[in-house]
Structure 1
Amino acid sequence: MKIKNIGGELGLIKLFKENKLPKEVLLGIGDDCAVVKIGGKLVCITTDTLIDGNHFSTKYFSPNQIGMKAMESNVSDIASMGGMPRYALVSLNLRKDSTVEFVKGLYKGIKKVCKKYGVCLIGGDTTSGKEISITITLMGEVEKGYLCKRSEAKIGDFIFVSGDLGKSFAGMHLLQKGLKGKSVKDHLEPRSRLDFSKRFAKNINAMADVSDGLATDVRNICLMSNVGAVIYKDNIPVSESTVDAAQKVGKDPYDYALFGGEDFELVFTVSEKNLGKVPGYLVGEITKKKGVRIYQNGKESVLKRFGFDHFLTPI
């Protein structure tokens, strides 16, 4: 049986998810981070793998940019939990013809982001193979009252995002077509929203980073919280540069926002009583009715398409 026959990534999560966890494990498989209580502190742990030809391309990315993106991706996961990053492990799979200069550039990018967020690089591993890949495991801490889980969305909550969506995917399409535009930098050098999370997490119910597109990440919050959602399509923030890129390649900019991903903005839910305490773009609401629906021009329709899945999305 192929992985796509069990539902892709979601099916794998269900396959490996443990029903019973030790009492010190507050959160296991299924969220942006695992959360473990150690010595009275909440420790959040995440890991991401980036592969050449999938998450980046050495045709477009400099080694420095690859390292930066890999670290920002992990910091984004910590941010989505309301945490602060602390320690990182980096594992590299290099081609046998990889150069020392490439590795130095890669680590320059990693260290740049580590310095930016106060992260200490404490170890890792190196091996060789056919394709270049980089895996980072990042550990952080969450203060009491700041932990945000996907499973905490409540019926009646409002759904917000922290910034413009679709810009990274738009930039990728420009690069693939050999075109120029502001969105190119958004794809090559995405930034996490740790700045936003550390200020406002205490007033947020559920949160995730928009790494797989707004549609998928809202769906994941709904599945974990046992609720549904309506997304207001016309409210989704899309920048002029994303619209410009979409026009150049003949795409819908809102498709980039809904189904693209890797923007590393945050999608989160806020109760009515906390509406004035958290800034952002209102893009929907949490409902009792299950499933994710799109509202546009006075009509509501069930969302049947979702973002990228390594085992379901055609290559």
Structure 2
Amino acid sequence: MKRSGDGADVADGRVADLGEFGVIDRITAGRPQPEGTLLGPGDDAAVVAAPDGRVVATVDTLVQGVHFRLDWSAPEQVGRKAVAANLADVAAMGAVPTGLLLSLACPATTPTEVVDGLAAGIWDAASEAGVGVVGGDTVSADQIVVTITALGDLEGRAPVRRSGARVGDVVAVRGVLGWSAAGMEVLRRGFRSPVAMVAAHRTPRPPIGEGPVAARAGATAMIDTSDGLLADLGHVAAASRVRIDVRSALVPVADKLRDVASALGGDALRWALTGGEDHSLVATFPDESVVPEGWTVFGTCLLGTGVSVDADRWGGAGDPGWRHWR
């Protein structure tokens, strides 16, 4: 038995047994809010402090069967993944997160333990980032859809945009590359290990705190690797009107990634260049001397347009990353 926020016993069952407000109560009851949440769930809208006077806002959606499978990932892991994708976008602007909004759509037959798991994962990831789930919505649907809106604060700084890279800037990354793609391939083959790669796919851990670090260091442009390194660098190159040249020998390819590629007949460098959903941060800096500790320089901004690898246009077979409706 589980206990709802009003003290009534609620048997484990389906979402239909709880009703809309029962689901909301199940997600929010007893969850602490940080000081920045001035008014949390329960009213028509939340109130979140905005010390900077500006609010960074982003939204991302995970759809069952497109972004996650419950035979591959536990609900808690899906919840964590949903939060990670959004917080990485806040970090890529150079901001610190301040709050999350949750929209949950699901069938009436969804087991309540799935809702509990999603909520636990979302709240755990939010708490680790120092934010709360301040509000949201629930609705019926044919499949589970988790939409997170994340809010952030710039702490008085200008946002780090995609359009700020300049010729001569160096390009650096903080976080793993290709691990989520490797983990997905492991799962597709019916395996559950190596655990590190599978975990990177199920619950990516973006370096959220490194976004403001890069901003303070003077990053000129920044993005997270949601679609894949080359694809996301392409967004920066297009917005900044530069050519970004990637030196493949400098791309951080972990030994563990090479081991998995060898075992599965894959290409570790390709995973690192084109695999999405790692949500690591990639930024450009005026020169290598200001790149923060822990970041790896692997490229340069040049005259021209687009992205090249070792001074040549990307010649790999297929697209350089994820695209919807492809």
Q: Do they fold alike, i.e. is TM over 0.5?
A: yes
Q: 1:1-315 residue pairs with structure 2 within 5 A?
A: 41-145=53-157, 147-179=159-191, 180-181=193-194, 182-203=196-217, 204-272=219-287, 274-275=289-290, 277=292, 279-295=294-310, 300-303=311-314, 305-312=319-326
Letter in 2 for 1:94: C
For residues 166-187 of structure 1, what are the alpha-carbon distances to aligned partners after superposition, in whole Å with 9 as ceiling and x for unaligned?
A: 0011001101111221311111
Cα–Cα, structure 1 residues 42 and 274, in superposed 2: closer, same or farther, change >3 Å? farther
Letter in 1 for 2:206: S
CA distance in 2, matches of 1:277, 1:108: 33
Shift of 1:279: 4.0
Query: So what's the TM-score if we normalise by structure 1?
Result: 0.82
Which residue matches 1:7? none
CA distance in 2, matches of 1:163, 1:138: 21
Q: Kindly indicate whether the alpha-carbon contact (under 8 Å) linking 2:105 and 2:139 is maintained by their aligned counterparts in 1.
A: yes
CA distance in 2, matches of 1:139, 1:259: 28
* Farther-moved stretch of structure 1 (251-260 vs 301-310): 301-310
Q: Kindly indicate whether the alpha-carbon contact (under 8 Å) linking 1:159 and 1:285 is maintained by their aligned counterparts in 2.
A: yes
Cα–Cα, structure 1 residues 99 and 144, in superposed 2: closer, same or farther, change >3 Å? same
Which residue matches 2:36? none
Q: Kindly indicate whether the alpha-carbon contact (under 8 Å) linking 1:83 and 1:146 is maintained by their aligned counterparts in 2.
A: no
CA radius of gyration, larger in: 2
Shift of 1:197: 1.8
Letter in 1 for 2:186: L
Cα–Cα, structure 1 residues 276 and 122, in superposed 2: closer, same or farther, change >3 Å? closer
Cα–Cα, structure 1 residues 40 and 62, in superposed 2: closer, same or farther, change >3 Å? closer
Unaligned runs of 5+ in 2: 1-49
Shift of 1:215: 0.3
Query: So what's the TM-score if we normalise by structure 2?
Result: 0.79
Cα–Cα, structure 1 residues 63 and 227, in superposed 2: closer, same or farther, change >3 Å? same
CA distance in 1, matches of 2:184, 2:292: 35
* Farther-moved stretch of structure 1 (140-149 vs 61-70): 140-149
Q: Kindly indicate whether the alpha-carbon contact (under 8 Å) linking 2:288 and 2:297 is maintained by their aligned counterparts in 1.
A: no
For residues 107-165 of structure 1, what are the alpha-carbon distances to aligned partners after superposition, in whole Å with 9 as ceiling and x for unaligned?
A: 00111011111212121111222221100111111122352111100110000011330
Identity of aligned residues (%): 34
Unaligned runs of 5+ in 1: 1-37
Cα–Cα, structure 1 residues 223 and 252, in superposed 2: closer, same or farther, change >3 Å? same
Cα–Cα, structure 1 residues 100 and 224, in superposed 2: closer, same or farther, change >3 Å? same
Report the 3-state secondary structure (helix = DSSP H, G, I; strand = E; otherwise coil) of the residue aligned with 2:55. strand
Report the 3-state secondary structure (helix = DSSP H, G, I; strand = E; otherwise coil) of the residue aligned with 1:194. coil
Q: Kindly indicate whether the alpha-carbon contact (under 8 Å) linking 1:95 and 1:129 is maintained by their aligned counterparts in 2.
A: yes
What is the aligned-residue RMSD (CA, Å)?
1.7
Which residue matches 2:21? none
For residues 281-301 of structure 1, what are the alpha-carbon distances to aligned partners after superposition, in whole Å with 9 as ceiling and x for unaligned?
A: 111101112121110xxxx32
Letter in 2 for 1:231: V
